[in-house]
Structures are given as C-alpha cells and as structure tokens.
Amino acid sequence: MSRQLPPRPNLEYLRKEAKDLLETLLRQDQSAKLSDAQHALAREYGFASWPALKASVEDRRAAFDQGARLFAGVWKVDLARSQRHPANQFQSATIVFDVDGEDLRMSDVFVDEAGREEQHVNTIRADGRERAKEPRRGYSVRASWRDPYTLETVGLKDGQPIGGATYAVSPDGRTLTISADQQMIVLDRVDA
C-alpha cells in the first residue's frame, strides 16, 4: 500500500526520511547508498523515482505558495452575501492578511452591532501542528492547508476540538469566504 503525501509536502522532511531509511538499509546491506533509500521512499509514495517525487513536491509547493499569496491583502466584508452568526451581527469588518511562508498574520477591525470598533491581531502557522495560543487556559490552534486555496483552522481546549473555521480564497484572488459554526462570511479584495 502506498503512502500519501500531505497536501503541502516538505522536501526537507522527505530528505530526512530518506536518510533515516538509509540507516535501516545499511543494517541489512552495507553497500546501500542514499540513492537506494531515496528510490525506495519514492516508490512508497507511488512515484517511479526520487526525481519524479521531488518534481511533484516542488510543483505542489509552488501551487500552494501561489494560493497562499492570494490571501495576502486587504479584505472587506460584503454583508449582503454573508450569513453572520446570530450572536454576532456586526455592522462591518475589514481583514488584512500578511503571508510569510507558512505564517499568516490576520489583522481585523470589526464594528459590532452597537457600533463599537474592535481590533484583533492573530498569527498562525499553517503546518498542521497544534500551537499554544493561551497556554495557561489550555487553548491552542492547529492550522493546515486543505488545498492551495483553502486554509483550515481548529481551535482546541486541553487538546479537544472546540471549533474551527475554513478560509477559502477564489482562484482569481477576488473573493475570500470564511465558514464557521452558523456563519459564512464573504469578503471582497480591496484594491490598494
């Protein structure tokens, strides 16, 4: 049975896997070489060779990097196309995404139902690992790419999921949709 690459594979991780496999192969055959381990690893992932695996990883990474760049910019909520949470009928919202590799910084400004302005800044790393947000209270976040245009976040308390959101940017980079419990927020890119 072949192994599946993650949606956003990491070539450095695969190189480390190949080196670890080489150690195992050397215990069985002293003449084993790194190229043997790379070839065996590529076959485990369903590729004919290490160069084919490497090319696929590089293509996937390029697609994900292009998709992640589409998130960067200023986004304004279109209330007419959005379904706000019943407990959060805000009047307006603007979100600014800054993207640096796997790190996304979200700065938002909301005007709540009563007209009060709220500002928040969150930075997440979209690598699929759980990261503490409020460690003293047991809160953490796990973020990962589902595909080049979709980011998923899961909020956890003491390791158990308590909520989450999906951020999907359109392939043309003009619309961002945030889906979460009982809401779907549609945002349009604001040209600079």
Give residue-wise pLDDT tens across range 29-87: 999 999 999 999 999 999 999 999 999 999 888 877 777 788 899 999 999 999 999 98
Residues 30 and 91 in one domain: no
Which of the 8 DSSP states describes residue 130?
A: E
In a domain, 1, yes or no: no
Domain count, the chain: 2
Are the C-beta atoms of 104 and 71 separated by less than 8 Å? yes
127 domain-assigned: yes
Residue that terminates a domain, selected from 46, 69, 92: 69
If asked whether residues 128 and 172 sit together in one domain, one would say yes
Would 182 be classed as within a structural domain?
yes
Q: Which domain holds residue 167?
A: 72-190
Q: 86 with 162, same domain? A: yes
How far apart are alpha carbons 170 and 23 in whole angstroms? 44
Query: Comparing C-alpha atoms, which of 177, 153, 149 is closest to residue 165?
Result: 153
Strands (E), 78-135: 92-100, 103-111, 117-125, 130-134
Sequence letter at residue 168 = A
Instruction: Note whether 104 and 91 are same-domain residues.
Output: yes
Q: What are phi and psi of 170, to 5 degrees?
A: -70, 150
Clarify whether residues 91 and 61 are in a common domain: no
**pLDDT confidence of residue 117:** 96
> Does residue 28 register a pLDDT over 90?
yes
Domain check: are 152 and 105 in the same one? Answer: yes
Residues 133 and 48 in one domain: no
